[in-house]
Structure 1
Amino acid sequence: MSTTPQHLTRSHRGVSIRELPARAGILHLGLGNFHRAHQAVYTSAAIAADGGDWGIVGVASRSRSVVDAMRAQDMVYSVATISPEGTSLTIPGVHTDAFVAAEEPQRVVAGISDPGIRIVTLTVTENGYSYSPSTGHLDTADPAIVADLRGGGPRSTIGQLARGVQRRAAASGAPLTVLSCDNLAANGPHTKRLVREFLELLPDAEGAEALAYLESSVSFPSSMVDRIVPSTTPELRAEVSSLLGVRDEIPVPAEPFTMWAIEDDFAAGRPAWEAGGAVFSTEVGRYEQMKVRLLNGTHSLIAYLGALQGAETIPDAVTRPDIERAARAVLAREYTPSIQVPSGVDIADYERQLFLRWGNTALGHKTMQVGTDGSVKLRQRIPEPALLSLDRGEMPHLIALTVAGYLSCLAPRPGFDPGPFATAMKDAARERLAPIASQARSGSEIAERSIAELQLFGEELAERPAFIARVGDLVDTIVRDGVSAAISDSVDASETDVKAHASEVPA
């Protein structure tokens, strides 16, 4: 007769769990898997090396599941580092408390205003910043922003930050750092601008003091985070329970690779994150470019093409010869030429590691997960490198293929079945794309209406008819001849263009 093991808690013998920090110095918004396998791990290493009151209060946006499980497990959980060689476990043990923002919005504001909290970190995804992708400014039509400006318990992340800053300015005035860890270009200045714009919309009697405090005492360093962290599965729970000898309801799977580049601009001190391998750099923008384009941009291509070919996981997709060929082509010809490599980074080695990471069959990252929210993700990844190619007189065929793959997954032409993994992708733009796709007679119509009319990828790409036409042609190729044919078309055209360009360069 089998018995279910007891849940992981701090009292279990044989499980190495460090004592909780005495106090929290960090409030984290976005208590998902990524934070728990990334910032929490770095913070655990920092406290082990250098001490400090850097415990983390974790704030989930809406879901109770992780909060309830963390409370039941004395705020501990395991991180399972997974590779083909096996699985190893670590237990960060740095969270002092956790709660749900949607249930206790004023507690978020109180936490930000607490002078004991010196850093607010964020992993709320690109969707969590309530800004207009076409302008980069605060989306004042967002219902959550409208409600937060009226008062009451703030629902949006920007509203929570702004109201917390407002209360902190009126109370202690203690300095504060807000550290975005999301995939947004210049995420520090971007977050500060949105908070400032929110405060500027308040009546002078409410916003003036907070605005002055924001400029004098709140820093917004930029950062780049990188680690592949899939969703937790029942199979992982079973494996971790077997390894620990106790039941962990919320283990986090993660790849061995991890990177964190941070601008060293902290208004009230910081943990010794470098003890965990973090890099403090004045070139965070270059790290952002490298990661968002080379890793994330290519990841999107792999996910959409893989899903359309029936690949459930990224390793299954990238090990298919035609998809690997497309991935290597977009890296070499369209993304790498668009970036400035950070000092000390061996770009050839970085790209080699990318394929090892994507090919990690033990991790099993899903194409559906990577492809979800593409309308927001691609807006961060493709416009600038595409525009750089177009301005050089070159067509970015593989970036066009990425967009064609996205549209074929999210807005399939009538009669075209993109498959179950594409259908499972979630995207806020799906509702707007559905009527376009249902009425379209060609891929060109879908591309024109989504890229030019909806400006799904920004105003500048919306004004590039050659690029839009190329996307439309590739959508038609996918529907008519299949994904492999579209890949061959794109890669062959790219190779032809490279040879033609080389022949034009004087010897």
Structure 2
Amino acid sequence: MRLSAENAGQLPGDVSRPGYDRAQPVGIVHFGIGAFHRAHQAAFTDACMEAGEPGWMIAGVSMRSAAVAEQLNPQDGLYTLTVRSAGESRTRLVGSVAQVLVAGSDREEIVACLASPDCHVASFTVTEKGYCRKPDGSLDLAKAKDGFYPILSDALVMRRDAGLPGLSLLSCDNLSGNGKQLRRLMLEWIDSDAADLCDWFLGNCTTPDSMVDRIVPASSGADLDGLEQRIGMRDEGAVFTEAFTQWVIEDDFAGRRPSWQDHGVQIVSDVAPFETAKLRMLNGAHSLLAYAGQDRGHTFVHEAIADDQLRRLVQRLMIEEAAPTIAAGDGQDLEAYAEDLVARFENPALNHRLAQIAMDGSQKIGQRWLETLAIQQQRGSSCEAILTAIAHWLNHISGDAREVEDPQADALREVWQRPGLDGIVHAIFGTGGPLQSDWTPSQSDLAYINAQLQSLR
């Protein structure tokens, strides 16, 4: 029996269910409605409506694949969220998603949702590559044509022409200063496509920075089968996550928004310290585990962190290398954060696949590793844990160890062919390389990484 609005009342009593009327307006359009969004924003919004705050149903948008639409639309947008920790699982039914639209086939309906007076927020979890940036950070206009930019631009023109207020554009992706980057990139698109919209956009729309911290593994067939046995019906859109959740948002909205702060969201004046800690400590450690863990024969995060050698590297990366580069915010204890992260990585109930974290590394490691390297280099310090991680990433992108899922996979593989093993570090990270940054590998860095690579080859 497939989960739906008709049979949701048959769920077991230990599965909590929304009590609000779901036949209400869509107030949020969300681009990239994967498991990550459904484990945080959709869940927080569900809590707002359950507390009696109407008008915040979500229209989800899948940019390419219809997979999530096929999971959720037959279920009337309903899905279960299961929190897993060692020894227990708690499941709730989430009702905040009204429908899932697909950018290619449902473009006009998406534009109409965004242009509706009921809509106040457009939000995003499209991953780093979904912002269509060139290596120098500017917008790749050719790629952007297939992204969210033209859809959003058309809707904003309609709002302006109808005399409606602007939207809050809320990025929830792992980008440093994600709101500021979204604003800059959106302006680049508008300037190329609808230049007369620029002044209205600047005066009526906002792009608050935000940071989300919650580990959400991809749901496996075994996960879905086990849930079906427990609740008595099939949920193809089920999401499984950890107990910990943190969402920090800059207080910069164009108009109405849900009262997320009443349900644990932090609305602050400056997101940067929280965002930087997550990128450099949690995400940086995750990427280290992803590449080094697979090279050492591990499949899941909890297996990799149990490897004493990798555990020492993670602790060094977080405490000795990344934390000293972060200006902590009020009440932010970075040493305690590092301890909490290790405990979260150890959770055996999550089965967070290293291969999932390893995807799209070329879009991630700049913020996760290279920013820390650059700051520590300026201070005269080296970062052996991150340099070790880079060696494992280079081994990964060679394509010899395993399949590589990365938007630059072919280009990186081609670079591998030209200089050979001895020159690969400089070819990738040196002047003119595809991952050139403020960090310039020193001779000692080159020697260290090459030695590590030699041991892996």
TM-score category (smaller protein) = over 0.9
Q: Distance in 2 between matches of 1:112 and 1:24?
A: 9
Q: Quick one: percent identity of the two aligned structures?
A: 29
Report 1:155-166 matches (<5 A).
155-166=146-157
* 1:144 paired residue number: 143
Offset of residue 89 of structure 1: 0.5
* 1:88 paired residue number: 90
Equivalent of 2:5 in 9, 12, 15: 9
Kept in 1, the 8 Å contact 2:3–2:78? The answer is no
* 1:178 paired residue number: 169
Equivalent of 1:433 in 408, 412, 426: 412
Residue type of the alignment partner of 2:254: A
Q: What SS does the corresponding residue of 1:460 show, helix, strand or coil?
A: coil
Residue type of the alignment partner of 2:149: I
**What whole-Å deviation, never above 9, does each CA across 1:43-98 have from its counterpart, x for those lacking one?**
11122224121110111112222212212112101011111122111111011222
Offset of residue 326 of structure 1: 0.7
* 2:130 paired residue number: 128
Kept in 2, the 8 Å contact 1:173–1:213? The answer is no
Which segment drifts farther, 429-438 or 293-302? 429-438
1:255–1:21: structure 2 CA closer, same or farther, 3 Å change rule? farther
Q: Does 1:235 align with 2:240?
A: no
Residue type of the alignment partner of 1:199: I
1:308–1:454: structure 2 CA closer, same or farther, 3 Å change rule? farther
* 2:381 paired residue number: 394
Equivalent of 1:288 in 259, 275, 294: 275
Structure 2 unmatched ranges of 5 or more = 12-16
Offset of residue 451 of structure 1: 1.4
Kept in 1, the 8 Å contact 2:426–2:433? The answer is no
Kept in 2, the 8 Å contact 1:49–1:272? The answer is no
Offset of residue 424 of structure 1: 3.5
**What whole-Å deviation, never above 9, does each CA across 1:93-143 have from its counterpart, x for those lacking one?**
01122210122223333322222110001000000001123x222123xx3
Equivalent of 2:254 in 267, 271, 274: 267
* 1:341 paired residue number: 328
Kept in 2, the 8 Å contact 1:56–1:95? The answer is yes
* 1:446 paired residue number: 424
Equivalent of 1:411 in 398, 405, 419: 398
Report 1:310-389 matches (<5 A).
310-389=297-376
Kept in 2, the 8 Å contact 1:50–1:272? The answer is no
Report 1:192-231 matches (<5 A).
192-202=183-193, 206-208=194-196, 210-231=197-218
Kept in 2, the 8 Å contact 1:101–1:108? The answer is yes
Structure 1 unmatched ranges of 5 or more = 149-154, 480-507
Offset of residue 17 of structure 1: 3.7
Q: What SS does the corresponding residue of 1:221 show, helix, strand or coil?
A: coil
Kept in 1, the 8 Å contact 2:172–2:178? The answer is yes
1:471–1:247: structure 2 CA closer, same or farther, 3 Å change rule? same
Residue type of the alignment partner of 1:362: A
Q: What SS does the corresponding residue of 2:226 show, helix, strand or coil?
A: helix
Equivalent of 1:71 in 66, 70, 73: 73
Q: What SS does the corresponding residue of 1:213 show, helix, strand or coil?
A: helix
Offset of residue 350 of structure 1: 1.5
Q: Distance in 1 between matches of 2:215 and 2:23?
A: 27
Q: Distance in 2 between matches of 1:465 and 1:115?
A: 59
TM-score by length of 2: 0.94
Q: Does 1:37 align with 2:39?
A: yes
* 1:470 paired residue number: 448
Q: Distance in 1 between matches of 2:175 and 2:23?
A: 31
**What whole-Å deviation, never above 9, does each CA across 1:230-276 have from its counterpart, x for those lacking one?**
11111111121122111111111111111100011111111011232
Kept in 2, the 8 Å contact 1:369–1:425? The answer is no
Which segment drifts farther, 357-366 or 342-351? 342-351
TM-score by length of 1: 0.85
- Please report the RMSD computed on the Cα atoms of aligned residues, expressed in angstroms: 1.8
Q: Distance in 1 between matches of 2:41 and 2:2?
A: 27
Offset of residue 282 of structure 1: 1.5
Which segment drifts farther, 69-78 or 159-168? 159-168
Q: What SS does the corresponding residue of 2:287 show, helix, strand or coil?
A: helix
Offset of residue 462 of structure 1: 4.6
Residue type of the alignment partner of 1:163: D
Q: Does 1:460 align with 2:438?
A: yes
Residue type of the alignment partner of 1:12: A
Q: Distance in 2 between matches of 1:454 and 1:404?
A: 20
Offset of residue 176 of structure 1: 1.3
Q: Distance in 1 between matches of 2:447 and 2:111?
A: 48
* 1:498 paired residue number: none
* 1:105 paired residue number: 107
1:90–1:380: structure 2 CA closer, same or farther, 3 Å change rule? same
Offset of residue 439 of structure 1: 4.7
Q: What SS does the corresponding residue of 2:248 show, helix, strand or coil?
A: strand
- Give aligned pairs, total: 451
* 1:22 paired residue number: 24
Q: Distance in 2 between matches of 1:119 and 1:21?
A: 19
Offset of residue 466 of structure 1: 4.6
Q: Distance in 2 between matches of 1:277 and 1:424?
A: 39
